[in-house]
Amino acid sequence: MSNGDGVTAALSDAVETAKEKVAEVSGAVASTASATVAKAKQAAKSAEKKVKTEVAKAKKAVKKTVAVAKKKLATASKDAKKEVASLKKKVAAKKAATKKAIAKKPAAKKVAKKAAKPAAKKAPAKKAVAKKAVAKKAVVKKAPAKKAPAKKAVKKAAPARKAVAKKAPAKKAVKKAAKKASKK
């Protein structure tokens, strides 16, 4: 039976060595796993720090741009207010000038009326000149129609007297034609 005790002893030695190996391997795996976990934690912490610093930088940049924009808007607002004030002054000055002009208008109207009277007298004279020019054109058109009755009248009576008498009606006809042409 001593032989059986040797087998048992060998088996128990083998189990012991296997147990030790498993403990060593499991210790190594655990230490490696804990090392990787530690490394992962460190990486996460460093990433978190980087993100925090980037966010802080972004916040500072936004604050700066907002501050610059506020300053620009404030200066633009001041400039606009100054411009509005100057425009109001100009408008007030123009209103005052128009009030003065309105106050002076009654006197100016009298002067204008006096000046308009001679101009009114001159204006009809110019119109008459224009009518004469138009009348000449009308005379050219109506002259052949008037000549035929004039010849008949010449046969009936003395030629010199009838010719003189017909000149006056011709002028009247010219004036009438000119009036009709100006109305059109």
Could you tell me the pLDDT band of residue 115, with boundaries at 50, 70 and 90?
A: low
**pTM of the predicted model as reported, rounded to 2 decimal places:** 0.33
pLDDT at 47: 95
Residues 147-173 have pLDDT tens digits of 555 454 445 545 455 444 445 556 677
More confident residue, 53 or 177: 53
178, pLDDT greater than 60: yes
**Average pLDDT of the residues in 119-131:** 48
**Average pLDDT of the residues in 48-71:** 95
pLDDT at 135: 47
pLDDT at 177: 76
Helix H, strand E, coil C: the string for the chain is: CHHHHHHHHHHHHHHHHHHHHHHHHHHHHHHHHHHHHHHHHHHHHHHHHHHHHHHHHHHHHHHHHHHHHHHHHHHHHHHHHHHHHHHHHHHHHHHHHHHHHHHHHHHHHHHHHHHHHHHHHHHHHHHHHHHHHHHHHHHHHHHHHHHHHHHHHHHHCCHHHHHHHHHHHHHHHHHHHHHHHHHC
pLDDT at 110: 55
